[in-house]
Chain A
């Protein structure tokens, strides 16, 4: 079968099981677009290539499959960069295909030429510049393999125009990929390390399990639950670990870190053993490293050897697939009942609940974003897929929407990319057409990729958008309020009328400024079959406008700032 490079692209995507791609055509990729209709693959036309990469990322995280983004050369390719870096930091499997100027023009500063393989070298797991059409099929096969095997990540394929045009006999690549170096990742035998881990677990009194994104990536949710129940240890989760352990489970301890739950941070600081599973001790998770978990020995299980002993040296490093490691550990550890430790922890829980803003039953209470998220959670019975942007609303979504299932909370954790929310939600909705998808975004971040509202309408996606409208770049404003003498330098936003804006795109929209309006708007938005946006006008500053708890920069986890009202409970 003689095919052009362009046809090979679609033939291979089809063989890799791709049903949908996100992209924008342009000069250097047009040739690839031309035969698209022959292959039955859905193309979602985004409005900016950053949206294509985020949508592919959201699609990947919601489906567990590889997401695909396509862009032209030059500016099309560079517009993908933020999305690629986002996927890299959060280990999300995406494949990006970019057009490139013809091989003969590479290196001549041709129109729309850019060295995208050079630019994306540090933010991809691997990338390719295909110079021979005969390599194309196997490169695509390898790219999909790499994106989702081992620690997942983004892979980019740069495709010169002449390679797209060239014809060759199509030979399907063999199933097995020839990657001599890749075979060495994950070969160390963890048996000894697991035995030592079991000893530490059996001899500890105050363990805390730290469950990261690796839990859901390794599909180790069940193994984790069995393990936690057997050793009777509380489980704290990272931002991306949400859903890896059910929030409704009695051993659930909440989120750790800068805006983590107070009881989780306190437990970590008091623990005598940390069992870190598929997480990487990010600075937002540890606070001041030198005073992190000072009484604890540490066990760290990760698939990526480079993460072990990277930031903190651990007592036992287990380089292994997480599910396998947990299943191996399970028969080696004693069944325990840690009543005393749970009593201490539940006291901390009580204190947290007492100062929680959503437990203040004040009839006149102003609308805050925690109230909004709690209302959405109750209305959706905690079963929606929540996709967030970055900032205050993101932390509140993590704190107040309780996740019992994996892959239901999609957020830019590592890179913290504002503008991620809307396009990622779009990708998630396409991956899970029957799920209720809520995009929770801020008024700052939404406007970074707001043009994707048009894509939502064009694709008729019934996304519900909860806009946290506080007229500021809220998280920066919070820091300015707390640490920069309330000098709100360059954070106040003069916003458009978001209801009119949404309506201009053809999206039903409501405005809500109090609790009743919020509840009613949520009901109406959910009842509406198409896309909907609610402009929640929430408290702008002060107690109701700030995210608590907060571990200030340079502080240790136990030094978090707690919500100060109504009662002075647990200052430290």
Chain B
């Protein structure tokens, strides 16, 4: 089962390495890990998806929490949350007919074409992983030249904010 953890960490050199090293050291499997800035200048936020049971994810969280630069870890899998995955997908367009057909599919998925080249175009899709998976499945027969996905980012709904102490 996939579990989603949110970790707020100090924005310092080497913190990502510490987190990744912990996963290797304790033999936890990372499905995806994204890092980015937050509303606070010195704090980064990681969304970590692990393929694990609830108690396994708890172990991950407890061990992460022991890292000095990790401020607060929370398993949000059972909370109401918005989760998003962003994908850039480059698809082959040998002729105008294919291109038109692709445009229609992209529209249906509420994705966007962000670049049009002579023989390819790039689709940007944002949504849950299931939605992006669905789009990828439909695009695959056209010939996907390359693809990049961010992996899951997540945020709990409402005022329940995973901040921890920042002072």
| Cross-chain contact B10 with A304 (CB below 8 angstroms) | no
Known: A180-B166, A180-B167. 16 other contacts (CB 8 A): A117-B14, A121-B21, A125-B68, A126-B68, A146-B68, A179-B68, A180-B165, A181-B67, A181-B72, A184-B165, A185-B65, A304-B66, A305-B65, A306-B59, A306-B65, A309-B55
In angstroms, how far is the closest chain B Cβ from the Cβ of A152?
A: 13
CA distance A178 to B69 in the complex (A): 11
Q: A122-B25, A310-B59 are in contact. Are A181 and B17 (CB under 8 A)?
A: no
Residues of A within 8 A of B69 (CB): 181
CA distance A185 to B64 in the complex (A): 11
B70 within 8 A of partner (CB)? yes
Within 159-203 of A, Cβ neighbours of B (below 8 Å) are at: 178-185
Q: Choose among A129, A181, A304, A308 the residue that contacts B71 (Cβ–Cβ < 8 A).
A: A181
Q: Residue on B with the closest CB to A182?
A: B68
Within 1-47 of B, Cβ neighbours of A (below 8 Å) are at: 9-10, 14, 17-18, 21-22, 25
Residues of A within 8 A of B150 (CB): none
CA distance A309 to B63 in the complex (A): 13
Residues of A within 8 A of B134 (CB): none
Number of residues from A at the complex interface, CB < 8 A: 23
| Cross-chain contact B65 with A180 (CB below 8 angstroms) | no
CA distance A182 to B165 in the complex (A): 10
Number of residues from B at the complex interface, CB < 8 A: 25
| Cross-chain contact B68 with A184 (CB below 8 angstroms) | no
In angstroms, how far is the closest chain A Cβ from the Cβ of B15?
A: 10
Chain B interface residues (CB < 8 Å from chain A): 9-10, 14, 17-18, 21-22, 25, 55, 58-59, 62-63, 65-72, 164-167
| Cross-chain contact A180 with B55 (CB below 8 angstroms) | no
Q: Choose among B25, B55, B68 the residue that contacts A181 (Cβ–Cβ < 8 A).
A: B68
A-B contact pairs, 25 of them (CB 8 A): A117-B14, A121-B17, A121-B21, A122-B21, A126-B67, A126-B68, A129-B14, A146-B68, A179-B68, A180-B165, A180-B166, A181-B65, A181-B67, A181-B69, A181-B71, A181-B164, A182-B68, A184-B65, A184-B71, A184-B165, A304-B66, A306-B62, A309-B55, A310-B59, A313-B55
**Total number of A-B contacts with CB less than 8 angstroms?**
54
Residues of B within 8 A of A306 (CB): 59, 62-63, 65-66
| Cross-chain contact B62 with A305 (CB below 8 angstroms) | yes
Chain A interface residues (CB < 8 Å from chain B): 117-118, 121-122, 125-126, 129, 146, 178-185, 304-306, 308-310, 313
CA distance A526 to B49 in the complex (A): 61
CA distance A178 to B166 in the complex (A): 9
| Cross-chain contact A183 with B165 (CB below 8 angstroms) | yes
Q: A126-B68, A305-B62, A306-B59 are in contact. Are A121 and B18 (CB under 8 A)?
A: yes
